[in-house]
Amino acid sequence: MAEAQALEEARRRNPVKLGIWIAGFFVAVVLLWIAKLQLDIYFAKNEWGTLNSQWRAAEDKYNNVTNQEARIEGIKEKIAALDHLKTNRFLWGPVLNALQQTVVDQIQVTRVWGAQTFEHEAPRSIGSGASLKTIPGTVNFEKVKLSIAGKDYSPTAEGYKKYEDTLNHFDFFAKRMNGHDGFTIEGAPSARIPESPGSSREYRTFTLTNTFPDIRHDDK
């Protein structure tokens, strides 16, 4: 018995076996550490996937918001441009309304027409040589001309002059001329023309024209 116990005690104290046990312990610790890392990586990947999905959803919302803001800004610019055009452009409705209020006896208006054109300011150069600078044209000018053709049945055949004077002193036209010449006779009235063969009623044809002051439209 004593010998057996001595042998067993010797085996327990064998350094090789002890080393194997210690090495096995460290291997187990390393394996557990590796397993823990794998679990951490697994959970981190899941969390990353969740966060990435949330980020993509937030990015889509952000892109939608920025796109809507860009569209709103574009609409605002268009509205501002339309408002600018509306408040500055020449309107024909008030002109026709004014003509209805300037009727003169013995004058028959046979035709009313207008010419409305836009001219762009040409670029201009400042300086010379190395200091030469070209300034682009940034202004549009709206030019409006109104013409009225009619028949003058007045006995004196000068009723067109009264009509011309009535138009020039009418408040609507007087305010818009701003010191410029108003309606003037274009050419000369025609000779007296019988209304029909053998008729004693005669008339003269005439044409009055009015060129309104240019309307300035600055580019935006």
> Is 79 a residue whose pLDDT tops 60?
yes
Q: Are 152 and 159 in contact (CB under 8 A)?
A: yes
Q: What percent of the chain has pLDDT over 90?
A: 28
> Is 201 a residue whose pLDDT tops 70?
yes
CATH classification of 93-218, choosing from 1.20.120, 3.30.980, 1.10.12, 3.40.190? Answer: 3.30.980
Pairing of strands 202-211, 139-152: antiparallel
- For the segment 155-199, what is each residue's pLDDT rounded down to a tens digit? 888 899 999 999 999 999 998 887 678 899 998 899 999 988 888
Residue ranges per structural domain of the chain: 1-88, 93-218
Contacts of 132 (CB under 8 A, 6+ apart): 125, 126
- For the segment 131-149, what is each residue's pLDDT rounded down to a tens digit? 777 766 666 778 889 999 9
| Separation between Cα atoms, residue 118 and residue 142, nearest integer Å | 5
Quickly count: other Cβ atoms within 10 Å of residue 186's Cβ: 13
